[in-house]
Amino acid sequence: MTATTAAERRAVGEAARAAVPPTAVGAWQPAADRPDPVALIMEQSRTRLPDLVPVRYGRMLVSPFTFYRGAALPMAADLASVPVGGITTQLCGDAHLSNFGLFASPERDLVFDINDFDETLPGPWEWDVLRLATSLVIAARSRGFSAHEGRHALHAAVRSYETRMAEYASMRSIEVYYAKVDAAGILAAVDARARAYLETTIKSAAHHDALHEIPKLTEGTGESRRIVDHPPIITHPAELTFTLAQAALVQYRASIQEDRRVLLDRYSLVDTAMKVVGVGSVGLVALVAFLDGGDGVDPLFLQAKEAQASVLERFLGPSQETHHGERIVTGQRRLQATSDILLGWTTGERGLHIYIRQLQDQKGGAVIDAMTPDDLTTWGELCAWALARGHARSGQPASIAAYLGTDDTFLHAVGQFAATYADQNERDFDALAAAAKAGRIAVETGV
């Protein structure tokens, strides 16, 4: 029977905590028959653009943290063996530090939220929390911070998730839906020692829009302006796998709201180029499309990106959305307080699933290599806040809050898991490096 009252939802969480105590998370150890992580990563390469696969490996081998960013599938295989309470929400599916950031709402306010949904799927809320918490420990190690500083950042993030979830559990459902993490609220909530870093990030994000990007991404004037190549990151290959053909644009147009179709109709497609993005996404088709509203002075940049099955699907079952572009867009809309007004999906040549969004709309992300321990702690708290809000918006916050309880049991269990998994991540990173050295995989560095 579905829980309908607040008391019933709390009872669901309490029963789940009794059946599977939070301490079970901390007891996790890698299985003796754990799948080879290198084999899993190589398996993903079979459906990617062959010329870009070595670039993906090169980016993953920069550090254990960049490896972690690209190793969502090996971790999903491990998370499938973690005991959880059975409470489901919409998962980001890849909730690490670099997949959160600032962007502009339709009202032009800067908000902080999850910004990557390639792996989104309904599933156990614990999986997102564990991936985020582990990324804090790995990032702290990569920066050379002490074990104490890494634990402090992790504990602060988990407490942030617990505190915010308890707040959302006490709110009316419609209040949770309207809740957001905006720039003003961020600066009011953070520790003074980390405020300078966030102020710089906010200021930088405010300047990232189409007018700011046009001199960086294009050359020429007026109607002759085109995207400029910056090999190997931005190129015009002889044959594009996906070209935003008219049929694809028509389907994309139908996937966005009617008033936004009116806006899109004012623009014409001028040029399309391949653009390599991220770490885990390298090798998937990713395009930047340059559109103009007239005379070359009204630019709009869209990113069109291939959508494959979520890495979580082999462990949680197939998505209800058979089109993976639609799966990503649906998950994003469920989790984000506000989404890109031009977010939509389409099907490209040879049945390629695609989702589309604006390329730059006042976006700002984490620069891990520039963070102090205080910066890392604060960024982790913000990520956990945004994650809690997304989980509360798409799930049952009262059930999750009741499972978490009011003590530090879950916090310490997550800390134990994250330390164990950070060690495993380093071993997996070494295994990929060994595969490169042995010639098992080809690696392109310096990109």
Give the largest Cα separation in the chain, rounded: 66
Helix axes 397-404, 147-169, angle to 10 degrees: 130
- Gap between the Cα atoms of 311 and 37, Å rounded: 13
Torsion sign over Cα 354, 355, 356, 360: negative
**What burial class does residue 258 get, using C-beta atoms within 10 Å of its C-beta: 0-12 exposed, 13-18 middle, 19+ buried?**
exposed
Residues with Cβ within 8 Å of 365's Cβ and at least 6 positions away in sequence, in order, are 98, 100, 101, 102, 115, 201
| pTM metric for this prediction | 0.93
**3 state SS of 360:** coil
Please give the pLDDT value at position 403: 98
Give the model confidence (pLDDT) of 128-144 as tens digits. 999 999 999 999 999 99
pLDDT for 169: 97
Per-residue pLDDT 10s for the chain (447 aa) are 566 788 999 999 999 999 999 999 999 999 999 999 999 999 999 999 898 999 999 999 999 999 999 999 999 999 999 999 999 999 999 999 999 988 777 666 778 899 999 999 999 999 999 999 999 999 999 999 999 999 999 999 999 999 999 999 999 999 999 998 877 777 776 666 667 767 676 666 555 565 566 777 888 877 678 889 888 788 888 665 456 666 788 899 999 999 999 999 999 888 888 888 888 888 898 888 888 888 767 888 999 999 999 999 999 999 999 999 999 999 999 999 888 899 999 998 788 999 999 886 556 677 888 889 999 999 999 999 999 999 999 999 999 999 999 999 999 999 999 999 999 999 999 999 999 999 999 999 765
CA 35, CA 39: separation in Å to the nearest integer? 8
Q: How far is CA 70 from CA 107, 155, 359, in A?
A: 33, 24, 21
Beta strands 121-124 and 110-114, pairing class: unpaired
Q: What is the pLDDT of residue 54?
A: 94
CA distance 329 to 339: 9
Q: 297: left (phi > 0), else alpha (psi -120 to 50), else beta?
A: alpha
